[in-house]
């Protein structure tokens, strides 16, 4: 007998029919003898609808009241799902975050889970009941309702799995797993049977938005095996877990990730002196602008160039700041470019293989794609290239590293 936490997202519970279909899935697993805890999202579109209502009343609604409002979406689905389970003859009980006592800090709209009390849940499971918990919400020390940020039900599910020491946390969604790359870009992209937490984090932070990043971090920290699977078709999904050291032949590259949301800024002709990088990049991050790739070069004449990327939405603000900094430092030139994309190859197998970067550059060279910036980490190599080459680059890397079916 195992203890499984299942999470169903908004589309999976988007209508009464779908809620009934979820109930049927839960019942099958329950009848097989497993203990089941289900975390659910609000019905698809509901959280946005609630946010729009608030915005129609006040431009910047009170954050505490916002959480009281948006947490209702999940309260609807837990009740409906329990009714559907009871209709199938399975006894079930719903709990809001506060009723479980999912204790969080008091940062409304982006609260972090501090502790989960598993007593009531364990008691219900031992009595043969299915337990259904509202995702995305908790309660602070003073009893205020809090929410965990958009997509937060994933984190609720993982946190429940960690607290209850579940055998697996299954995230049911509208895709049947994690793919080697976006199938909309590469038709031959393949579903991965498994991937490590680290790889998933790299894939996710690059824009594979299957899971909330925080939930993957959480799962890695507490070593909760996570499985991403489809609520609309049967299949094994993708298992996200720790690196399997016994596996003799690991693929060198597990996936190709990309990100279209960044823009590049360059400041040229600045002094090659201690403190200059800090002056340039410190001012940008003090404005709460997140900096991603950073490259610095020093030319023969001892002048330095710094290039970095930021989110495209932050480009106007970052340009303005960079122009001010350029004036202060007597820089030669500031330029920016938002027609860039970031493409990365990701794989824990890279740690033990040489020549991976060369192979990547060779594949891009063969297509005549110019590389503007390069950065690497232990399990990832990233290049910044011109936006129009995105699909070509991803496709050629996908085949160069043998990722197709």
State whether the Cα torsion 294-297-303-305 is positive or negative.
Answer: negative
- Residue pair 387/372 in contact (Cβ under 8 Å)? The answer is no
With CB cut-offs between 5 and 8 Å by kind, which of Mg ion, ligand ASP, none does residue 177 bind? Answer: none
Q: Which is nearer to Mg ion, 136 or 389 (CB)?
A: 136
Interface pattern 29-68 for ligand ASP (x via CB under 6 A): ------------xx----x---------------------
Contact between 170 and ligand ASP per CB under 6 A: no
Contact between 150 and ligand ASP per CB under 6 A: yes
Q: Which is nearer to ligand ASP, 10 or 349 (CB)?
A: 10
N- to C-terminal Cα separation, the chain: 35
Identify the CA nearest to 164 among candidates 154, 173, 156: 156
Interface pattern 3-42 for Mg ion (x via CB under 5 A): ------x---------------------------------
Closest approach, Cβ 356 to ligand ASP, in A, equals 35
Q: Which is nearer to Mg ion, 144 or 205 (CB)?
A: 205
Give 88's DSSP letter: T
Closest approach, Cβ 122 to ligand ASP, in A, equals 24
Query: Can you list the positions of beta strands (E) in 231-290?
Result: 238-241, 255-259, 262-271
Contact between 98 and Mg ion per CB under 5 A: no
With CB cut-offs between 5 and 8 Å by kind, which of Mg ion, ligand ASP, none does residue 181 bind? Answer: none
Closest approach, Cβ 198 to ligand ASP, in A, equals 23
Residues 108-137 that bind ligand ASP (CB under 6 A): 135-136
| Structure tokens, 360 | 């990547």
Give 194's DSSP letter: E
- Residue pair 188/205 in contact (Cβ under 8 Å)? The answer is no
Q: Measured between alpha carbons, how far is 122 from 43 in angstroms, rounded to an integer?
A: 27
- Residue pair 78/40 in contact (Cβ under 8 Å)? The answer is yes
Q: CA-CA-CA-CA torsion for 188, 238, 6, 135, nearest 10 degrees?
A: -70
Which letter, b or e, does each residue of 305-339 get, where b requires 16 or more Cβ atoms within 10 Å of its Cβ? bbbbbbeeebbeebbebbeebbeebebeebebbbe
Tell which one of 14, 97, 138, 151 touches ligand ASP (CB under 6 A): 151
Interface pattern 71-90 for ligand ASP (x via CB under 6 A): --x-----------------
With CB cut-offs between 5 and 8 Å by kind, which of ligand ASP, Mg ion, none does residue 152 bind? Answer: ligand ASP
Residues of this chain that interact with Mg ion (CB under 5 A) are: 9, 151
Residues of this chain that interact with ligand ASP (CB under 6 A) are: 9-10, 41-42, 47, 73, 135-136, 150-153
């Amino acid at each position: 007998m195992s203890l499984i936490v299942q999470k169903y997202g908004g589309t999976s519970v988007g209508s009464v029919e779908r809620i009934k279909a979820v109930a049927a899935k839960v019942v099958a697993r329950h009848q097989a003898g497993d203990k089941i805890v289900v975390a659910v999202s609000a019905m698809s579109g509901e959280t946005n609808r609630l946010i729009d209502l608030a915005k129609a009343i006040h431009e910047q609604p009170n954050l505490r009241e916002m959480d009281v409002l948006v947490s209702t979406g999940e309260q609807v689905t837990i009740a409906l799902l329990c009714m559907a389970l009871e209709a199938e003859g399975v006894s079930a009980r719903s709990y809001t975050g506060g009723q479980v006592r999912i204790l969080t800090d008091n940062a409304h709209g982006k609260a972090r889970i501090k502790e989960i009390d598993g007593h009531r849940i364990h008691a219900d499971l031992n009595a043969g009941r299915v337990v259904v918990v509202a995702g995305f919400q908790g309660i602070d020390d003073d009893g205020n309702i809090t929410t965990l940020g958009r997509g937060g039900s994933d984190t609720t599910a993982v946190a429940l799995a960690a607290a209850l020491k579940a055998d697996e946390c299954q995230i049911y969604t509208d895709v049947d797993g994690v793919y080697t790359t976006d199938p909309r870009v590469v038709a031959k992209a393949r579903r991965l049977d498994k991937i490590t937490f680290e790889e998933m984090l790299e894939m996710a932070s690059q824009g594979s938005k299957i899971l909330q990043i925080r939930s993957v971090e959480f799962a890695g920290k507490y070593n909760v095996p996570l499985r991403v699977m489809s609520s609309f078709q049967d299949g094994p999904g993708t298992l996200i877990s720790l690196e399997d050291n016994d596996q003799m032949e690991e693929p060198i590259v597990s996936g190709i990730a990309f990100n279209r949301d960044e823009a590049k800024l360059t400041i040229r002709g600045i002094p090659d002196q201690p403190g200059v990088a800090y002056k340039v990049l410190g001012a940008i991050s003090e404005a709460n602008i997140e900096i991603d790739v950073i490259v610095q070069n020093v030319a023969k004449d001892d002048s330095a160039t710094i290039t970095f990327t930021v989110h495209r939405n932050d480009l106007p603000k970052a340009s303005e700041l960079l122009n001010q900094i350029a004036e202060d430092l007597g820089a030669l030139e500031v330029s920016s470019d938002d027609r860039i994309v970031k493409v990365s190859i990701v794989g824990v197998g890279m740690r033990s293989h040489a020549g991976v970067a060369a192979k990547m550059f060779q594949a891009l060279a063969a297509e005549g794609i110019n590389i503007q910036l390069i950065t690497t980490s232990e399990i990832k190599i990233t290049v910044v290239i011109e936006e129009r080459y995105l699909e070509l680059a991803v496709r050629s890397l996908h085949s160069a590293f043998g990722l197709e079916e």
